[in-house]
Every structure is written in C-alpha cells, then in structure tokens.
Amino acid sequence: MAVHATAHGGTSETGVRTRKVALFLGLAFGIAWTSAAILSLVGIELDTLGGIVLLVATYMWSPAIAAIATQRWHGEPIREGCGLARGRLRWVGLAWLTPVGLVAATIGLGVALPGVSFTTDYAAYLLELGLSQDEAADAVAQLEAIPVPPAVLFVVQGLVAGLTINAIAALGEELGWRGLLLTELAPLGFWKLSIVTGALWGIWHAPIILQGHNFPEAPVAGVFVMTVATMAMAPIYTYLTVRARSVLAATFLHGSFNGLGALSLVYLTGAGNVVIAPVGVAGIGAALLGTALCVLHDRTIADERITTDRPLSPWA
C-alpha cells in the first residue's frame, strides 16, 4: 500500500501517517469517553433498553463517526479508505460463521478450568439477568416447547442477529478499527498492526467496563481482561478482513460474536465473567486457538502469506 504525506499531516519512518491516525483516535476516544461520562452523570444504566440504545448510538458508533470525519478532513474517499466493498463473499461468510467456533471453543476450554462446569440450567441464567421466578419458569417452558434443541435455536438467533441488528451496531466500531485504522496501520505488517489495534480497541472500552459492562463483579480487573481479550482476537479480525478485502467481514464477525458470545455464560457455571465470559479467560484461550488456525491456513494453504512483518495491502 502506498502511503503518502498530505497537507494535513506527515508520515513517520514506518510509513504510517501519524497525524491522521492521531486525529482518528482523538475523535474516536473523545466521542466515546465523553458519551460514557454523560451517561454515568445522568444515571442511565447500560443494561436497560434506553441505555443500550444510547450506548450503540453514541459509544459504539464513535469509531465510525471518527473515521468518516477523518476521511472528510483529509479529502479522501470513505469507501476506499475504510474498506467498504463487497469483497470476497466466501471470506465474508466465513467471518460471519467464525464466532460459532470461537464460542464452542470458549465453552470447551471453560469446562477445563478449575471449578467451572457445564450446565443447561437456563432458569439460573435468566434469574441472573434479573427475571423473576415466574418469568424465568415461563421462558424455560416456552423454550422446551420448541421442537429443536435450545442450543440450535440460540445459534440461529445469534447468526441472524449478526447479519442484521448486531451488524448495524458492529459497523460503528469496525468502520474505524478494521476500516480506517487497518488502512493507515497497514505499513506495520500483520502482527504489529493487530497488536496495536487490539490494545487500542480494548482500552477504548475502559469507561463502560468501569461502569459494570461485561464484568459487573470486577470492573477494574475487567479493563485489563478486556484489553487482553481484544488483543487476542485482533489477529483473527485482521486476517479475515484482509482475506475478504472488505470491512464487512469484521462487521459480521463482530455482530455474530455479540449475538453468540453470551452462550458461554449460559452453558458455563462456577466462576465469574472474568473467567467464563467470551471476553474472559476462556474466551482469550479460544481466540488464541483461532489465531493459530489463521496462521496455519496462511502458512500451509494460502497462496500468499500475510501473517508476516511486511506491509499489508488490505483491499488489494
């Protein structure tokens, strides 16, 4: 990828347009963290319907808003700069299905952890979500009346959500992280790009993690665990996005992951979210396995290797 200096900023020795990246990050973090502070100050709980809507509109879409504003400021096209293209559909489809394997691996690894066991006590999970005994019992009765195994139903629902409502929310993040930032950090090569992007992605979550999102029982430790998790997952996102030549791969991957990730909390018991969550210890292990599979494919099957230190050409 050719990287050049512009009137709005210079280029570092690595070939990265640092001022452009700084502008994007300043906007992405500034919008997100300001919105999180406002939500906290006005007392809006993030696990309510209103909180979720505001979280998506103001927080999750901040990277996309930042990416669009940055491209506009530099007078560069949004579609090309952020990888908005149909791309290679088989890879987009694979990205969409990848969370099924990641969540299955999370559950499998979780069962191997001390004190953690597999469960199908759906009522217990619903009670933890805040439902009453009667509401949980009614929900379980409806679930048992469906003529397919609950796990199959949950997977189908998660995948459908990953293509629809969750994809809308996920695009707000991915247009920035695996769109503009992937384009601009491509000179760093696969591994440095993935590590940097994963770290930024995790730290960006800090304010809402501290407000109890994802790890309500351990918000401070949760910031660290989330950052480790996003760094572990980032190579998978990078690999599938570059192979697909489209940010849609990351979007559907992210959307399906959000739709399916809670299954580890449904089917694992005996430990807190820090351990069994899809972005907890078990999820980190699953992400490392997923990264290993990407590397294996890249080095034994793919025609051209991309998991190297050479600059990437993500949309070529």
The whole-number average pLDDT for the span 142-162 is 95
**Dist CA 96 CA 204 (whole Å):** 24
Half-sphere exposure of residue 192, counting CA atoms within 13 Å on the CB side?
13
> What pLDDT score does 5 carry?
44
Contact between 253 and 99 under an 8 Å Cβ cutoff? The reply is: yes
What single-letter DSSP state applies at residue 310? S
Q: 130: left (phi > 0), else alpha (psi -120 to 50), else beta?
A: left
Give the pLDDT band (50/70/90) at residue 9: low
Higher-scoring residue by pLDDT: 3, 173: 173
> What pLDDT score does 7 carry?
46
The whole-number average pLDDT for the span 53-82 is 95
> What pLDDT score does 221 carry?
97
> What pLDDT score does 3 carry?
40
> What pLDDT score does 65 carry?
97
Give the pLDDT band (50/70/90) at residue 1: very low
Q: How many Å separate Cα 183 from the centre of its chain?
A: 18
Contact between 63 and 176 under an 8 Å Cβ cutoff? The reply is: yes
Dump strand ranges (E) for 93-191: 117-118
67: enclosing H helix or E strand:
helix 62-73
> What pLDDT score does 257 carry?
98
What single-letter DSSP state applies at residue 117? E
Cβ neighbours, 10 Å, residue 53 = 11
Contact between 258 and 74 under an 8 Å Cβ cutoff? The reply is: no
- Could you report the per-residue pLDDT of 228-265, keeping only the tens digit for each? 999 999 999 999 999 999 999 999 999 999 999 999 99
Averaged pLDDT of the chain = 94
**Dist CA 51 CA 212 (whole Å):** 12
